[in-house]
Structure 1
Amino acid sequence: MSIDIEDFEERAPEELEEPSNAERVLQFLHEHSDKAWKASTIAKRADVNENSISAVLNRLKEQDLVRHKGSYWAITDDTERLRRAHQFHRTAQRFDELYGEEDREEWIEASERANE
């Protein structure tokens, strides 16, 4: 994928980042909240690799952000939960911008040292 050099020059780095698969799925389901969809259709319409869609949907289901019945998926009807999840996501992004992303390995090492 490419973008115009003018967009490259004028846009902020965060504007150039691609949304995650989960963000794409939630955005698609939210925009089409009047329907439930099969996973393969969600993958196509949300531009998510079909090999990844089951894992993405299951993670979102574990977080109660989507509903699942039979072979169909829909956005949660808990709008407050969606709002809080979106707010948390944006806050985490802001902290990453301000302080840098966390290093999972660093956290594991620190935890192991603390437990010695």
Structure 2
Amino acid sequence: MPINIRRFEESPPEDLRASGRTNAEEILSFLASSPDQAYTPKEIHEATEVKRGSVGVVLSRLEERGLLRHRGDYWAIAADADVEKTLSSMSTARAASERLGVEDTDEW
């Protein structure tokens, strides 16, 4: 949703975050906020409101990218994950897709 230029120019950057984060962003942000804790998928679902059926898939994908780790039923942020950089990249990609659309590679 667009904002007026006055708000854009006068608001502090932390007040200008677009809503509508992806499930991966929600889960990664939640786990990064407590790097000394590990959570079950159910706890992650309850804390983030990401649909229960989506939590496991997102956790697995984030682990494949080296951002999360897990043991047994518990998941935590990876010790060496650059969460801020990753979240910034995800946000930038989402914003570009929203603005420019998704390219149809089938036409190639």
Q: Could you say which residue in structure 2 is the equivalent of 1:102?
A: 102
Aligned residues: 98
Comparing both structures, which one devotes a greater share of its residues to helix? 1
SS class of match (1:34): coil
Q: Distance in 2 between matches of 1:20 and 1:94?
A: 11
Q: Does 1:49 align with 2:47?
A: no
User: What is the Cα deviation at residue 102 of structure 1?
Assistant: 2.2
Unpaired segments ≥5 residues, structure 2 = 9-15
**RMSD over equivalenced CA pairs, Å:** 2.7
Structure 1 unaligned blocks of 5 or more: 1-7, 111-116
Q: Which has the larger radius of gyration?
A: 1
Q: Which has the higher contact order (CA 8 A, sep 6+)?
A: 2
State the 4+ residue runs in structure 1 displaced beyond 3 angstroms.
8-12, 14-17, 93-98
1:59-114 C-alpha deviation (Å, 9 max, x unpaired): 1111111111111000111143x34323422442454466x0223xx21221xxxx
**TM-score, normalising length: structure 2:** 0.73
**CA–CA distance in structure 1, aligned partners of residues 105 and 24 of structure 2:** 24
Amino acid of the residue matched to residue 55 of structure 1? V
Identical residues among aligned pairs (%): 31
Superposed CA deviations along residues 4-43 of structure 1, whole A, max 9, x for unmatched, are: xxxx98788x855311111110111011111001111001
